[in-house]
Amino acid sequence: MENFIKIENMGIMAFKEEAAIYWTCQECGELLCAHRANCLHCNAPNPHFPNEK
Ligand SMILES: [Zn+2]
């Protein structure tokens, strides 16, 4: 039971790390804003911004 909890926590850590990489601007390395079409820091296009409109 204890091992299962440890593995679960590690999975969450890995997920957070992946999400951090996912939302990192490829141009300047700063964090992208999920709600902005462009990077707040260097104005590079946010590749993960949903272009539905
Ligand atoms: Zn940027």
We report the CATH number of the domain holding residue 15 as 4.10.1060
What pLDDT is recorded for position 16? 86
27 CA to centre of ligand 1 in angstroms = 5
Q: Which residues contact 47 (CB under 8 A, 6 or more apart)?
A: 26
43 CA to centre of ligand 1 in angstroms = 6
pLDDT digits over 9-49, tens only? 888 888 888 888 999 999 999 999 989 999 999 999 999 89
| 50 pLDDT tier (thresholds 50, 70, 90) | confident
18 CA to centre of ligand 1 in angstroms = 18
What pLDDT is recorded for position 53? 59
CA–CA separation, 38 and 44 (whole Å): 5
Q: What is the Cα 7 distance to its own chain's centre? A: 21
44 CA to centre of ligand 1 in angstroms = 5
38 CA to centre of ligand 1 in angstroms = 8
> Around Cβ 25, how many Cβ atoms within 10 Å?
20
Site of tokens 């790390």: 17
CA distances from 1 to 23, 46, 49 (A): 33, 41, 40
Name the domain count of the chain: 1
What range does the domain containing 47 cover? Answer: 1-53
